[in-house]
Structure 1
Amino acid sequence: MSAIELKGITKQFLDGDETIEALKETNLAVEAGEFVAIIGPSGSGKSTLLTLIGGLQTPTSGEVQINGKAFSRESERKRAKRRFDEIGFILQASNLVPFLTVKQQFLLVDDITKKKDASRRTMLLERLGVDSLANKYPSELSGGERQRIAIARALYHQPTVILADEPTASLDSERAFEVVDLLAEATKTEQKATIMVTHDTRLIEKCDRVLRMQDGLLKEA
């Protein structure tokens, strides 16, 4: 059973009278413990693919399965619950709650999951070099600091699937490599299935597999 499985998914959009084929028929399986990179030019369909895997959009045809269960055909309510329980999103925009401190961002997750793991929170923040910022608000942080905190938050609730869309875009080279090291380590030690979209080919050395997206078509790089 693959942690992520795409069975013939496509995505089309209407632009006036024209049909835009954003994603051509795609089949993909990612196993637990596997770190996959997707590279390709802007507008090639990489982010569309991630949103389909994560249930933020539904495919025009085909099916997405997460942890062996149908995902894309479920109701939005069921998808939302499974998305929170099973998937960790790392987006280019940090998407932190603006009126919560760094610590409160994690306490909110605790409230929703009815779980608490202060030691894991501390470990993640320390590993990403932002443990001194626990009482700061997002507006008081740099873009790179916000992104590192968002990465820690995405890993905090122990998702089985990690979807990272340009996770290092706002980071300098040293921090970018640290983040990829952390993602690779979490993928292996916690048996997560991780897909990372990146334009920076220096970061793919830690990945098990590299795929290329070109004009909506996914191929082995």
Structure 2
Amino acid sequence: MKLIEMIDVSRSFGEGELKIDALKKTNIAIEAGEFVAVIGPSGSGKSTFLTITGGLQTPSSGKVLINGKPFSEVTEKKRAKLRFEEIGFILQASNLVPFLTVQDQLHLANKVERSKVDKQKRDELLKELGIFELKDKFPSDLSGGQRQRVAIARALYHDPSVILADEPTASLDTQKAFEVVEILARETKLKKKATIMVTHDERLIAYCDKVFVMKDGILSERISG
């Protein structure tokens, strides 16, 4: 089942001689259970690709479907609702709220939805990620690797179909980086998500099902072997 689909998507800025094609015509489909890496130099278009996939900006042409639902062509209000329901974001900095405990970071989703906290789901997720014993701790009490595990838990808690990870290991040492990516790969398979990870670290792509290279706004799949 295709959870992410881009059809002839492009994004340009400016006009005439000042026009910049940040993302040239792109077609991609990512299935449930697929963990995909996007690599490429700074300024190649990776961020544009990810923000369009996440509905944070709209394409100049083409369309994006998330879990089979039109995403790029709907109103901002509908896109924001779909973004919350269908997409979990994991950023380079874990972006945890400093005055909330680990478990309360997850409860933010309940506040937005005005729903009851699912304690069983929360605790199972924290145990899966090896951070259950930290649930009453604040971000300042955690290591970088632990904060990223909390960020992953927060992204997974409301059960989105898509996970978008933007340089999720950039602030971690090598071992912690491998641990975090291994968790992302496992959770993608276990929970049948479609996950895109933008990374500069090519050592991490061993965990990925597919690798795409972005260069000068052009996305192409790297074929192994």
TM-superposed deviation, 1:132: 3.7
Q: 2:89 touches 2:164 (CA, 8 Å); kept in 1?
A: yes
Letter aligned with residue 212 of structure 1: V
Mapped contact 1:98–1:138 kept (Cα < 8 A): yes
1:203 maps onto 2:204 in alignment: yes
1:30 to 2:30 alignment:
yes
Shift of 1:142: 4.3
CA distance in 1, matches of 2:137, 2:210: 38
SS in 1 for 2:122: helix
Residue matched to 1:124? 125
Root-mean-square deviation (CA), in Å? Answer: 2.0
Aligned residue in 1 for 2:6: 6
The residue type equivalent to 1:111 in the other structure is: K
Q: After superposition, what is the alpha-carbon deviation per residue over 1:11-30, rounded to whole angstroms, capped at 9, x for unaligned?
A: 11229961121111111011
| Offset at residue 61 of structure 1 (A) | 0.9
2:150 is equivalent to residue 149 of structure 1: yes
Identity percentage over the alignment? Answer: 63
1:195 to partner: Cα distance: 0.8
| Contact in 1 for aligned 2:145/2:180 (Cα 8 Å) | no
Q: Distance in 2 between matches of 1:18 and 1:126?
A: 52
Post-superposition CA distance 1:87-121 (Å, at most 9, x none): 11111122222332222111221233314332333
Shift of 1:124: 3.4
Q: Residue in 2 aligned with 1:97?
A: 97
Q: Does 1:181 align with 2:182?
A: yes
Tell me the TM-score normalized by structure 1.
Answer: 0.91
Q: TM-score, normalized by length of structure 2? A: 0.89
Matched residue type, 2:50: L
How far is 1:193 from its partner? 0.8
Contact residue 5 and residue 64 of structure 1 kept, 8 A? yes
Q: State the AA in 2 paired with 1:116.
A: V
C-alpha change, 1:123 and 1:15, in structure 2 (3 Å) is farther
Deviations 1:26-61 (A, max 9, x none): 110111111111111111111110110010110111
CA contact (8 A) 1:39 1:212 kept: yes
